[in-house]
Structure 1
């Protein structure tokens, strides 16, 4: 059957990023884990993800996060998407994807391994 991996986190985007982000999210089995606030407000748009995915499909979620991270700035401020995702697996491992400056960095997170149990 395969192992499952839990992925949960968010990205902070500019409202002008939304159309491009929606294209990146697409429409497939795991795209249902993405969610926007029902009534966004103020200046930051948050895009959330939460889902349990098969270990073999984790690369698909990661690839989407990388494409979202790479969205170009939309104004002269140069702000790019940024955020964090917590990933845990059934082996009890925990790590984070830090999204900043157009890239996704893997960061070990043993202190939050309790989320995997």
Structure 2
């Protein structure tokens, strides 16, 4: 039995999970988990999320083949966010992209103009 530390869950009973590739540190995606999804991830060797849109568990790669194998799972200092480092097979994003973060936004200098 896996011991899960106390988590600070949101009003829906979920915690955000940032997913990072263990080989090159790329941030691949953001998913959400409840305690059961985290338990499955820690014990079954595959990352499981809670789908907020479908209201059901989904194990990454079951339909797409783009599997995520958890290598490290860490809880942040506030116990309200997870970092999951994975071995990623194929694309992490449902669009077919390797990462979900492919739309750059323009960043302006932090210096105020006078």
Structure with bigger strand share is: 1
TM-score clears 0.5: no
The one of the two structures with greater contact order (alpha-carbon pairs below 8 A, sep at least 6) is 1
Normalised by the length of structure 1, the TM-score is: 0.29
Max Rg structure: 2
TM-score between both structures, scaled by the size of structure 2: 0.30
